[in-house]
Amino acid sequence: MHRGTVQKGRPRDFDRDVALEKAMETFWLYGYEGTSLSQLTSAMDIRPPSLYAAFGSKEKLFLESVNLYLQRYGAYRETALAHSATAKEGIEVLFERTIQQFFAGRDHKGCFVVLTALSGSQDSSEVQQFLSAERRRTVQLFKARLEQGKVAGDIAAQTDVDALAEYFTALLFGLTIQIRDGLDEASARSLVAVALSVL
């Protein structure tokens, strides 16, 4: 931290950002506890001392991976909801982009935040809670946009915004599991079409 103006000592041989990205990819595939340190060092092409010097611990490396994921693969949600005339349109675009992203890579991965530490040993309870809190942020995202729609008038005044927000969130998370189970893109799109019909 505070990699300031003048750097003393031997410079780092590897690119920290590239290494972090490799770590994120590995965690994404095997989860927090399911990924071993030797897997990480192998994927990042560095040795344990370099990993610990640069990231502190496996847990800190994971938390940085979460943040990288959110920044790289999660930002579209805010964007989709914001750049839309109505709440309905915003949510439609959000789900469409979700499907595009989930099926963009060769391996259909689904949401990092849902997959990587849904359960696990007590040792990883902090990591689990961190992801849980992040998932709850998704509910707030939906809720805020729906309330905005209520003010704007494209969402009926008597609408139960909380229920709708929880509903879309559950669907988004369930979609990740379905995709992990092999659901194809067309089916995913049909599923979402049914879900959006409530608006």
Partner DNA sequence: TGGTTTCTGTATTGAATGATATAGAATGTG
Partner DNA sequence: CACATTCTATATCATTCAATACAGAAACCA
Q: What is the DSSP string of 76-113?
A: HHHHHHHS-SSHHHHHHHHHHHHHHHHTTSSS----HH
From the CB of 155, what's the least distance to DNA, in Å?
46
> Among a second copy, DNA, none, what binds residue 115 when CB lies within 5 to 8 Å by partner kind?
a second copy
Residue placing its CB nearer to a second copy in the complex, 27 or 55: 27
79 binds a second copy, rule: CB under 8 A: no
Binding footprint of a second copy, residue count (CB under 8 A)? 47
H or E stretch covering 22: helix 16-30
Q: What is each CA distance from 112 to 30, 69, 85, 93, 195, in whole angstroms?
A: 10, 7, 29, 20, 22
Q: Coil, helix or strand for 25?
A: helix
**What is the x/- site pattern for a second copy, positions 25-64, by CB under 8 A?**
----xxx-xxxx----------------------------
Site for a second copy, rule CB under 8 A? 29-31, 33-36, 114-116, 118-122, 124, 132, 135-136, 160, 162-164, 166-167, 169-175, 177-178, 180-183, 187-188, 190-191, 193-195, 197-198
